[in-house]
Structure 1
Amino acid sequence: MNLDKVISGFFIILAMTLNFGFFYGDMDSLVSHSKYELMAAIIVNLIATTLKLGDKTQMGSVLLATSLVADIQLIAAATIWTVAHYAYTVNLEITGIVISLSGGALLANLISVALYVGDTLKSKR
C-alpha cells in the first residue's frame, strides 16, 4: 500500500464530501449552510491542492487544475458572504451566489474524484 496515495485520496474525497455538505440544503436560505463547514471545505481543498503539487504527470496536471478551480470558487464564495455580511445585507441574490459558487466547486471536486478513481483503476500493481 502506498501511504502517499492513501493520504492524497483521503483529502481529495474529504474535500468533496465537505463541499457537498455545505452545498446541500435550501437554496433560499443560508441558515441550512454552515459557515464553519465552508471554512473546513476551503482548508481541506487547500490541503488537497498542496498534495497535488508534486505530481508531474498529465493526470497530475488535470487534478491540480480541478483543485485550483474548487479553491478559487470556495474562496470567492466565502469572500462574497463575508463582505455581504459585514458591509451590506445578505439577501437572496447573495445567498444564490454563495451557494452557486460552492456548487461549481462541488462539480470540480466530483471531476477530481472521478479522475483520481479512474487513474487508480488504470494503474498497474
Structure 2
Amino acid sequence: MNLDKVISGFFIILAMTLNFGFFYGDMSSLEHHSKYELMAAIIINVIATILKLGDKTQMGSVLLATSLVADIQLIAAATVWTVAAYAYTINTEITSVIISLSGGALLANIVSVMLYVGDTLKSKR
C-alpha cells in the first residue's frame, strides 16, 4: 500500500464530499448552506491541490487542472458571499450565484475523483 496515494485519495474524496455538503440544499436560501462548510471545502481543496503538485504524469496534470478549477470556483463563491454580506444585501440572485459556483466546483471535484479512481484501476492491472 502506498501511503502517498492513500493520503492524496483521502483529501480528493474529502474535498468532493465537503463540496457536496455545502452545495446540497435549497438554491434560494443561504440558511441551508453553512459558511463554515464552504471554508472547510476551500481549505481541503487547497490541500488536495498542493498534494497534486508533485505528479509529473499526464494524468497528474489533468488532476491538477480539475483541482485548480474547483479552488477558483470555491474562492469565487466565498468572495461573492463576503462582498455581498458587507457591501450589499444578500438576495436570491446572489444566493444562486454562490450556490452555482459551488456546483461548478462540485462538478470539477467529481471529475477529479472519477479520474483518480480510473487511474488507480488502470495501475492495478
**Corresponding residue for residue 104 of structure 1:** 104
2:124 is paired with a residue of what secondary structure? coil
Corresponding residue of 1:5: 5
Gaps of 5+ in 1: none
Residue in structure 1 matched with residue 83 of structure 2 by the alignment: 83
CA distance, structure 2, for counterparts of residue 124 and residue 109 of structure 1: 23
Amino acid at match of 2:44: V
Distance 1:97 1:50 in 2: 27
2:68 paired with 1:68: yes
C-alpha displacement of 1:124: 3.3
String of CA shifts for 1:26-80, please: whole Å, max 9, x gaps: 0010000000000000000000000000000000000000000000000000000
Aligned-residue sequence identity (percent) comes to 87
Gap regions ≥5 residues in structure 2: none
Pairs aligned (count): 125
Q: How far off its partner does 1:106 sit?
A: 0.1
C-alpha separation in 1, matches of 2:54 and 2:62: 13
Distance 1:98 1:119 in 2: 32
Map 1:1-125 to 2 at 5 A.
Answer: 1-124=1-124
- Matches of 2:106 and 2:61, distance apart in 1: 19
Cα RMSD (Å) of the superposition?
0.7
Which of structure 1's runs of 4+ aligned residues deviate more than 4 A? none
